[in-house]
Chains A and B, each alone.
Chain A
């Protein structure tokens, strides 16, 4: 079952196409990573799904209801869009109470979410005294207030310290395991890799990839990083390996050879055959970041191809 479905979803801002006939289905339950370069259309997609802006073409549904009637699913969705938004002069509790009253949520939930995000005890302090990380926790608390089936979180670990990141990561994993669907939009690919079960990659408003994280990680390739004992030998080693049929690229004083762990010994022998002693031989894998850059073409979406983003519109 899909929690979100879009068909040919398009949104233009004047000459800029923020979403270009996007068709995608997001599975229910689990944590879904939504990634893309700046200006790829992630925020535009989220805003359309939440009823904040209207598409110029195509259709979409959230939790089985069309986006034309967001009221039918609003109470089942929790959101943290961009930076957390609160009244600075009010306490954390009063801010949450205000949102609870708007959504007709019993006030007991305020205590529950304050405990859940670790803010109980600081809840009567005005939000203006909060650090970025505490505001982020409060934003997540606001998103959790309605105990939603679908959570949409934009950069949820922004501003958190390492311990806070681990804590929120665990919270998101728990929510996903307990049948909730959590959509996480983030630039922190290590976070996405650590938390998500499913990945959606968009670029220039178009779908680049949508599938299980395991499928993405299958794309990772092993390679061996080697370095000669004397850096003066880098060029000679590269030439020797290349002539022997190895695919070699130089990264500073290190040579990256496209080969798996099973060829490491052969590589070492080839270097020795050329009269070069290796000081380093490390087998590594592509990171999600490298796969992402390969998928998205190593471009900043806002700057590429003259598609300069309009501040506040396309992000």
Chain B
């Protein structure tokens, strides 16, 4: 499987592809930090059911974990980017016809799929790191400009950064797998992105707006909770278990389809 990962990484490490991925992640990290700090320092509060966005309170912002609060706040935006790029690279194998060469070269299709996931996990880790770095670089001046105290931000610095990084990374992996699964099923990046983004921004928001409908298990809510290290709606442990369930279901579905389906056009 290592050979498949190395092969996939060779194809993924295209400057333009990485520039788009990392650039969007950096843009959202900087943008959300700026908006969040301005919003929190002004005493604003988000409307309930806003799609996947969770801004901290002023007290939380001024706590040691406040430095990385932007990562959790932008988690679903990063998620949409991750879903889109996993879907794009997966669907490109089908649209370019490359899948024919890949399957002819490595007829065992499970390792092909696993290798692709492995390579995408590596690049997602790099994207998460970019997000964390830009978050730190943006948060400090934004907080200073907004008059938010950063005195506690140095406390347990490594642990705070590592925890935020890990939580975001786990959430993004699930987002990515979702993009991969829809791309495998649809063999189209556009369809995969439309379904993924449409679900989070429209379907899930609509479900949440239905008063009595339980929404704690929904994908966006779950992944937002994972990225935040738990939320009021979903405890961290529960969110992780739910996320694991989504990943397992997604990978099994993608695996069965990849293994069983004919490779035509």
What is A's interface to B at a CB cutoff of 8 Å?
A: 47, 50-54, 70-71, 74, 77, 79, 81-83, 85-90, 94-95, 97-99, 101-104, 142, 311-313
Contact = CB atoms under 8 A, between A and B. Distances in A.
18 contacts: A50-B100, A50-B103, A51-B104, A51-B107, A52-B263, A53-B264, A70-B107, A74-B106, A83-B97, A85-B98, A86-B96, A89-B17, A94-B11, A95-B11, A101-B6, A102-B7, A104-B3, A311-B265
Given A74-B107, A102-B106, A87 B11 contact: yes
A99 B7 contact: yes
Contacts of B16: 89
B7 A98 contact: yes
Given A54-B262, A87-B11, A97-B10, A102 B105 contact: yes
B251 interface: no
A97 B6 CA distance: 10
Nearest to A127: B96
B102 interface: yes
A52 B106 contact: no
Nearest to A69: B107
Contact of B92 (A47, A87, A102, A104): A87
Contacts of B262: 47, 52-54
Contact of A79 (B8, B96, B101): B101
Pairs of residues from A and B, 7 with the lowest C-beta to C-beta distance, nearest first:
A85-B97, A312-B265, A102-B7, A70-B107, A98-B10, A52-B263, A53-B262
**Consensus secondary structure, chain A interface:** loop
A94 B11 CA distance: 7
A50 B102 contact: no
A94 B263 contact: no
A81 B99 CA distance: 11
A74 to B, nearest CB: 5
Given A86-B98, A89-B17, A90-B14, A51 B3 contact: no
Contacts of B7: 98-99, 101-102
Contact of A102 (B3, B100, B263): B3
Nearest to B106: A102
Interface in B89-146: 92, 96-108
Given A89-B14, A89-B17, A99 B105 contact: yes
Contacts of B181: none
Taking each of B10, B14, B16, B97, which has the highest tally of chain A beta carbons within 10 Å of its own beta carbon?
B10
A94 B105 CA distance: 17
A217 B262 CA distance: 38
A143 B127 CA distance: 34
Interface in B1-22: 3-4, 6-8, 10-11, 14, 16-17
B3 A101 contact: yes
Nearest to B102: A102
B85 to A, nearest CB: 14
A52 B11 contact: no
Contacts of A52: 100, 103-104, 262-264
A312 B105 CA distance: 21
Contact of B264 (A47, A70, A94): A47
Contacts of B4: 102
Contacts of A98: 7-8, 10-11
A83 B100 CA distance: 11
Given A53-B263, A71-B106, 16 more contacts: A50-B104, A52-B100, A52-B262, A52-B263, A53-B264, A74-B106, A82-B100, A85-B96, A85-B99, A85-B101, A87-B14, A94-B10, A95-B11, A98-B10, A101-B10, A313-B264
Contacts of B6: 101
A141 B14 CA distance: 21
Nearest to B13: A94
Contacts of A70: 107
Nearest to B5: A101
Nearest to A87: B11
A102 B103 CA distance: 10
A74 B262 CA distance: 17
Interface string B8-40: 101100101100000000000000000000000
B106 A103 contact: yes
